[in-house]
Each structure stands twice: as C-alpha cells, then as structure tokens.
C-alpha cells in the first residue's frame, strides 16, 4: 500500500495544504486557508484532515516562511511558532520535516509543468545540470539556490530577504532606501521587494492607501501615475538585487520568480526597466544577459517540492 504524505506551504498570509502518494502531489486534494482563521499550523492541519478524511498519514513536510532551527520554525511575517512535535501530535505523522518555503519552491523546479513556466526575456537556453536560483516575492521576500547532485536536488536554506538593500546609483531609489531605514533599521530587501513593500513605495511617492494588487491594476488601467512610478522604482530595485544575487551564485540554469507579487508584476517587468539594473555588471554583463528569467505561474508548486523532499529523505 502506498504511503500517504501530508504537505503544507505556509506563507505569511495563507497556507496551502495537499496530499501526495508515491507518484507525487495529488492536485485535487489542494486547499487554501487564511492563517488568520487559526491559532497555529497544527490546528489548521487538523481541520484539513477532518474535512478530507484521507486516512493515516505516514509523513508530513511543511515549507514555512521563516527560519527553521532544530526542527522547529518561527514565521517571519506572522506570529506562529511551529513545533514539529505539535504537528506530529495533530496529524499522527511518524515523520515530520520542516523546511524553508523557498527551499520547497526550489525542490519543485523539476516538477513544474511547461505551461506554468513563463519566460520573461529572450534568453539563451540554459545548460543542463546548471545551478538555478528561485526568488520569491509575496508577503515577504527570499531566495533558494538549487543545485544538482547525483540525480538529486540540493537546496540549502536562506533568509536573503533580510539581507540589506544595496547602494543604488538611482537617486530616487537611494532616497527611498534611506526612508525605509527609518522604520526598518536593518533595511531589509523585503521592506521594498514584497507586496507590503510595493505599498510602502506607493505611499512614499504620495499615493493613496492601496493594496499591492490595486497598485498593479491602477498601473495597467493608467488611472494613477504614482502606481506606475511605484512599479518602476520596484522594478529598478528588483533588477539590482536580483543581479547581485545572480553574481553571488551564477545560476546559469535560470532565475525563477515565484509568489503572488511576482505573478502580478512579471508581465510588466520588461517595460518597467528591470533588465538594465539586472545586466549592467561591467565585464560580467554578457554573462548576466545569458541567465534566463522565468516566472513560475503555479501557486501550488511548493507542495510538489515538499513531496520531492520527503521522497529524497525517506531513508535519511
């Protein structure tokens, strides 16, 4: 009898839950829950199991939006502390794995269907088995570096969204970063490059209080010039940060953008000027132009990454 695995992609706002068997994620089992409706991940998963009645759970993997230490995790943009022991008690799973949510996205790259891969620029075909980089933009921001090793994927954890925003030659971007430092003293990348970050940029430019989705819509409908200015500034900083990260890791297999904010802004990145700060790297400009940039349009793919991680660690 095939094992039954429980999977969770835990963001700062929503949690996606699904089941997997030996073949991988079972798409029809995926459900989305608002975190605000639960006191923690354990009761949320218990509610899912009560609703779906899948039978015994053999293993559980959750990709969580925060650092994982000693098997437990604290979400960065929500007040949940997640203990592996609590998840085991709530679900009956004998094996519980917590990984960073971007690690889950990285482990999923080989399982992304072609229809969910949206090339954003006309780049050179990537070499086989090359390093890849996943950059997530949603409630927060983070990255995952994806390495191939002996037919398996190796995706180390990272918290790059809380590394500092770079020095910017663009005067307006530099002024924005100084402003963000007033409320975020360590000046993290995600203070600008996230859904809430886009809202901060728009307000700093004198815009009305709009959600990130409303800002993108206002830009598309040309109803708010400040929305276009905010997105242009966002794309400029994103190009600089993504370019720095790519120089750190040389992901010649591609840069992959994921997350709700990424899906909203990706169609506009070319026109907003992302490419110039991304590729302007002196003698390394030609290398940067050869890095494919792709949007992952499937917002449940991290669950497939959790399933792969469980398969890879089954005998660890």
CATH number for the domain harbouring residue 89: 3.30.420.40
Computed on alpha carbons and rounded to an integer, the radius of gyration of the chain in Å comes to 20
Domain with 42 in it? 5-107+300-312
Asked whether residue 110 carries a pLDDT value surpassing 90, the answer given is yes
103 and 130 assigned to the same domain: no
Compute CA 189 distance to the chain's CA centroid, rounded to the nearest angstrom. 13
State percent of the chain over pLDDT 70.
Answer: 99
Q: What is the pLDDT of residues 229-281, one digit of tens each?
A: 999 999 999 999 999 999 999 999 999 999 999 999 999 999 999 999 999 99
272 domain-assigned: yes
Residue 245 counted as domain residue = yes
Q: Both tokens of residue 204?
A: 């700093």
CB neighbour class for 149 (10 Å; exposed up to 12, middle 13-18, buried from 19): exposed
Residues 181 and 275 in one domain: yes
Q: Domain count of the chain?
A: 2
Query: 32-41 pLDDT, tens per residue?
Result: 999 999 999 9
What are 141-177's pLDDT values in tens digits? 999 999 998 889 999 999 899 999 998 989 999 999 9
**Do 143 and 135 touch, CB atoms closer than 8 A?**
yes
Q: Is the pLDDT of residue 1 over 60?
A: no
CA dist list (Å): 17 to 41, 68, 166, 290: 10, 19, 36, 36
Distance (Å, rounded) from C-alpha 305 to C-alpha 109? 8
Query: Half-sphere exposure of residue 248, counting CA atoms within 13 Å on the CB side?
Result: 12
Q: Residue 197 has what pLDDT?
A: 97
CATH number where 138 lies: 3.40.367.20
- In contact, 210 and 201? CB cutoff 8 Å: no
C-alpha span between 20 and 2 (Å, rounded)? 10
């Amino acid at each position: 009898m095939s094992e039954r695995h429980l999977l969770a992609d835990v963001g700062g706002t929503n949690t996606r839950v699904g089941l997997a068997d030996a073949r991988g994620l079972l798409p029809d089992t995926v459900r989305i829950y608002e975190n605000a409706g639960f006191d923690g991940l354990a009761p949320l998963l218990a509610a899912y199991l009560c609703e779906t009645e899948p039978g015994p759970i053999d293993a559980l993997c959750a990709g969580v939006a925060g650092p994982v230490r000693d098997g437990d995790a604290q979400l960065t943009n929500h007040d949940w502390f997640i203990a592996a022991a609590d998840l085991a008690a709530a679900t009956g799973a004998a094996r519980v794995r917590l990984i960073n949510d971007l690690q889950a996205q990285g482990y999923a790259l080989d399982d992304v269907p072609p229809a969910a891969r949206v090339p954003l620029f006309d780049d050179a075909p990537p070499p086989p088995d090359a390093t890849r980089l996943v950059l997530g933009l949603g409630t927060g921001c983070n990255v995952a570096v994806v390495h191939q090793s002996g037919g398996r994927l190796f995706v180390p954890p990272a918290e790059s969204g809380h590394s500092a925003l770079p020095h910017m030659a663009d005067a307006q971007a530099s002024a924005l970063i100084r402003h963000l430092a007033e409320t975020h003293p360590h000046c993290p990348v995600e203070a600008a490059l996230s859904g809430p970050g886009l809202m901060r940029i728009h307000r700093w430019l004198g815009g009305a209080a709009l959600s990130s989705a409303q800002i993108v819509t206002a830009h598309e409908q040309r109803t708010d010039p400040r929305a276009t200015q905010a997105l242009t500034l966002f794309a400029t900083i994103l190009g600089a940060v993504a370019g720095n990260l790519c120089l750190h890791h040389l992901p010649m297999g591609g840069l992959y953008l994921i997350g709700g904010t990424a899906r909203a802004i990706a169609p506009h990145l070319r026109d907003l000027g992302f490419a110039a700060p991304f590729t302007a790297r002196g003698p390394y400009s030609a290398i940067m132009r050869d890095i494919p940039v792709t949007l992952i349009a499937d917002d449940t793919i991290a669950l497939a990454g959790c399933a792969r991680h469980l398969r890879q660690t089954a005998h660890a």
